[in-house]
Structure 1
Amino acid sequence: MTSGVVRAAYSARAAEYTSLFGAISSTHPADRELVLSWAQGLSGKVLDAGCGPGQWTAFLHSDGVDVQGVDLVPEFIETAKQFCPDAQFSVGSLERLPTPDHSLAGIFAWYSLIHTPPAGITRVLNEFARCLKPGGSLLLGFFAGPAGESFPHAVTPAYFWSLEEMSGRLQEAGFT
């Protein structure tokens, strides 16, 4: 799945996606608790990688986290800027983040890699590793299942990852 296909699919359904999932209230309370606990342990800038319409970025920002968002979909970025005008947002690819080397305390990638095919996942994880400070932290959400198996997703096909396979890929990219 190319980023162009993913961008086009989400662009076509951006308003619908935002109305269904664009509020933090649409997320599970346990997820919000996990994300806040993770972010509160960081010192420095956090990137919401694949921020969508910015609900998680705004949630983290409201808790005092120095967070910025990046997403492939221009419509999501426009919505995010309206939703959280005090945070910085940009259109960009997770394979080429608009971030200096070793500049982030954390990267939050909540189900934003689900459309990345197995052949491309290492490239994204290497990019995350490039952007994180030594000792930086990655919080990654994904669908657990048979590694690399695609499944029909409401917007465009997505991929499962087993915990073992994702752990191995993360280690290959330098994560511990």
Structure 2
Amino acid sequence: MRVPDWIDETRISYDAVAGSYADMLRGRLAEEPFQRGILGLFAELVRGGGPVADVGCGSGRITGFLAGVGLEVFGIDLSPVMVEVARRDLPGLRFEVGSMTALDLADGSLGGVLAWFSLIHVPDGEVPGVLAEFRRVLRPGGVVLIGFHAGAGVRHLTEGYGGHPMNVYVHRRSAAQVAGWLGEAGFTVEGELVHRPDPKTEGAFVFARR
């Protein structure tokens, strides 16, 4: 089966920026109390429920945070170079190359799934399939947290993270839209939150349970 172009372009783009991405974001979570609080709530909801997958983990900074608060967590990323960086920076944790469109995980094997600003490059028509994968790998009662850029519209990103070339599309969505998709995928939505760190920026976070 042919891999869709958007998957190839996302992989190539993040391979190109992996080192700069890790350097630019390393330590940033320490300056973001809202995001730490949201991740802390996720940790409380999934604690004791089984392993947690950080899907689209990038350089592993969020995976490392969740491990630091006591979760049994591992990371999955489309970019092999990102996974190499994560393994280098966090050698005690597990990181794997994989796609959220076809997770190499057994049915009902996880207590939690985190998609932290990693669904943003997935086209609208592919999102239901990704959410079906998340539901498949979660145990009954398992929790998914999706973080994303709030708003509307699509932006074509041609460079980033130090000026390296990229070719990805960034999809902005409302919390209501993502919550609706989760409901259609068989989840029960338990919470929606919008964070406005400055007047021109919005991040949204949706919690749902299988």
TM-score normalised to structure 2 length: 0.78
Which aligned runs of 4 or more in structure 1 are off by greater than 6 angstroms?
A: none
- In the alignment, what sits opposite 2:175? 163
CA shift, 1:143, in A, is: 1.2
1:99 to 105, 120, 127: 105
Contact 1:24 1:56 in 2 (8 A): no
1:133 and 2:139 aligned:
yes
For 1:51 and 1:80, the matched residues in 2 are separated by 9
Structure 1 stretches lacking a partner, 5+ long: none
Aligned twin of 2:38: 34
Question: 1:47: Cα distance to partner?
Answer: 0.4
Using the alignment, how far apart are the partners of 1:85 and 1:16 within structure 2?
19
Deviates more, 1:26-35 or 1:83-92: 26-35
How far is the alpha carbon of 1:37 from its aligned partner? 2.1
- Does the CA-based 8 Å contact 1:22-1:54 persist in structure 2? no
Q: 1:168 to 1:56 in 2, by over 3 A?
A: same
> Separation in 2 of the partners of 1:133 and 1:157?
32
Check whether the contact 1:145–1:160 (CA below 8 A) recurs between aligned residues.
Answer: yes
Task: Indicate the residue corresponding to 2:21 in structure 1.
Answer: 17
SS at match of 2:121: coil
Q: How many residues align?
A: 174
Structure 1 residues 148-167: Cα deviation after superposition (integer angstroms, max 9, x where no partner)? x2124444221011222211
Give a deviation string over 1:59-105, Cα, whole Å, max 9, x none. 11112110010000111111111222221110000011121101111
> In proportion to residue count, which structure has more strand?
2
SS in 1 for 2:141: strand
Residue 58 of structure 1 contacts residue 83 of structure 1 at CA under 8 Å; is this kept in 2?
no
1:6 corresponds to 2:18? no
CA distance in 2, matches of 1:3, 1:99: 19
Alignment correspondent of 1:66: 72
1:126-156 Cα deviation digits (max 9, x unpaired): 100101111110110011112xx21244442
- The partner residue of 1:46 within 38, 49, 52 is 52
Please identify the structure whose Cα radius of gyration is greater.
2
The structure 2 residue matched to 1:80, chosen from 77, 82, 86, is: 86
**Amino acid in the other structure paired with 1:23:** G
Question: Do 2:45 and 2:143's aligned partners in 1 also have CA atoms closer than 8 Å?
Answer: no
Distance 1:172 1:27 in 2: 35
Letter in 1 for 2:6: T
C-alpha distance in structure 2 between counterparts of 1:67 and 1:85, whole Å = 13
* Counterpart code for 1:138: V
Aligned-pair distance for 1:114? 0.3
How far apart, CA to CA, are the structure 1 residues paired with 2:31 and 2:7? 25
The 3-state SS of whatever aligns with 2:42 is: helix
Instruction: Tell me if the contact between 1:114 and 1:158 (Cα under 8 Å) persists in the aligned partners.
Output: yes
Unaligned runs of 5+ in 2: 161-165, 189-210
Task: Tell me the distance in 1 between the aligned counterparts of 2:31 and 2:80.
Answer: 22
Q: Alpha carbon RMSD of aligned pairs, Å?
A: 1.5
